[in-house]
Structure 1
C-alpha cells in the first residue's frame, strides 16, 4: 500500500465507488475539500474489539446508538479483521513493533479514516 494524501487517494477511488443509491460515487460525492470531521474514536488493541470501535465512531457521527448502525453492515463495506491485522498486528521484525499506515474507506455518506496509531476518524459532507 502506498502512502498518499487523503484527498488524492479518496478522489481517485471515489470515481469507481457506487453510492448507496446505486449511482456512481462521482455524481454527487463531496470532494476532498468539502469534508468535515464529525467523530473520532481511539482503538486500543488490548481494549474493545476493532469493529466495535469503528461502528461506535460511525454511530457518534450519525448521533445514534451503536445498535442502530445496521445499514450497510460494516462487513459489507470493509474487511475489519483484515484491516485490524494489517494495521495493528505485530510486523514480526522486533517484539512490540507494529505496522504503520492509513486506510480510508466509505461507509454510506461518510468517509472513515483508520490510522495505525489507533485513531478512527469519521468525516461527513460539509454543509454548503
Structure 2
C-alpha cells in the first residue's frame, strides 16, 4: 500500500449545520455532492467528505460507542484486484476487516479494514473520480 490518503470523511451529527460551518470558513461543496446526504470538498490533493456519523459508522463496520472519532480514512485505487490485495495485506498485518470488499450502491467497489488502533480505512475503486498517476484523487 502506498503512503497516501485519498479521502477523509468526517462523520457529523447534523449535515446542514456542518455545511453552514464549512461555508463560513470559505469551503464550497463540489458539484458532485448530494445535498442533504453527503458533501465533498476538493482539498488540495485529497477530498474531504461530510456524511452522517451514524451512516459512516454503519458503512465502515464500526460500533460508535462514543469513543470512535467519527472518521474513516480512504485509500483509492485503480482496480478491484488492487483493492482486494491491499485488504488481504492489511489483514495479514493484523488489521480486522470491518467490511469485506464488494460492489457498492454508489457504483464503485470498496471494503474497510480497521487498524490495530481502531482506525477505519476504506480501500475503494471510485469510477466517478479521477485517480492520478501520483495517487492524487480529483473530483470530476
TM over 0.5: no
Q: Which has the higher helix share?
A: 1
TM-score (normalised: structure 2)? 0.35
Q: Which has the higher strand share?
A: 2
